[in-house]
Amino acid sequence: MKILLVEDDRLLGDGIRAGLMQAGFAVDWAQDGRAAELALSGEAYDAVVLDLGLPRLSGMELLARARAARNAVPVLILTARDTVPDRIAGLDAGADDYLVKPFDLGELQARLRALLRRAGNQAEPVLSHGGFRLDPAARSVTREGRPVELSAREFAVLHALLLNAGRVLSKAQLEEKLYGWGEEIESNAVEVFVHHLRRKLAPDLIRTVRGVGYMIPKAAE
């Protein structure tokens, strides 16, 4: 899951980025409104964490522009201004949720998981597929009730494929979900993660769609 973090406060941004990465999100961090606008126009994010007071372009203006451009990415606004009119304005400008600073990192992570569920039209917090269950909050995977040990990136690949069951994700789309700016991508990393997942979970769970990418077929009801 790839998050665009937009925050100009270095110390706070650093802490949020570390907290989100620890929770298994890949994070791109933009430190002003224009950098964020550029990032949004070039990449598909699963969610945006948006500070409102930003240099060069305010968070509110950025949000209004993104919505005007029909970008439907889920947006959670962060605001230090704990006033009701600010929150109303943010939600009416197209934000999906908000947190008032200072906030708890655990709450931010949980709210993002809830936003991602809603964006995926998924009511259940735990994803299940055949005998497999993936719990994004606990970051655990079980097969027939038994835990399966996965690395953070193997987990992220499986999570993305399960959220998009029945749809093919290209290698580039999976890479986008795994790596933030400045993180080095090994050229065959996605193939290696898929290989490991097949070995640890089931050889036929993830299908290769030749020349296109990978998919997990929709589970039989």
Instruction: Rule CB under 5 A: say whether 86 interacts with Ca ion.
Output: no
Residue 202 token pair: 């089931």
Q: Which residue number, 9 or 191, has a Cβ lying nearer to Ca ion?
A: 9
Instruction: Rule CB under 5 A: say whether 49 interacts with Ca ion.
Output: no
- Of positions 4, 6, 8, 79, contacts Ca ion by CB under 5 A: 8
Instruction: Rule CB under 5 A: say whether 53 interacts with Ca ion.
Output: yes
Instruction: Rule CB under 5 A: say whether 57 interacts with Ca ion.
Output: no
Q: How far apart are alpha carbons 112 and 67 in whole angstroms?
A: 19
Instruction: Rule CB under 5 A: say whether 51 interacts with Ca ion.
Output: yes
Q: Please identify, among the stretches 49-57, 148-156, 158-166, 180-188, the one whose residues bind Ca ion according to the rule CB under 5 A.
A: 49-57
Contact 156, 1 (CB under 8 A): yes
Q: How far apart are alpha carbons 80 and 101 in whole angstroms?
A: 5
Residue 41 token pair: 């126009």
Q: Please identify, among the stretches 13-21, 47-55, 125-133, 164-172, the one whose residues bind Ca ion according to the rule CB under 5 A.
A: 47-55
Q: How far apart are alpha carbons 119 and 139 in whole angstroms?
A: 19
| Residues whose CB is less than 8 angstroms from the CB of residue 140 and which lie 6 or more positions away in sequence, other chains included | 134, 147
Q: Please identify, among the stretches 4-12, 30-38, 139-147, 207-215, the one whose residues bind Ca ion according to the rule CB under 5 A.
A: 4-12
Residue 22 DSSP SS3 = helix
* Binding-site ranges for Ca ion (CB under 5 A): 8, 51, 53
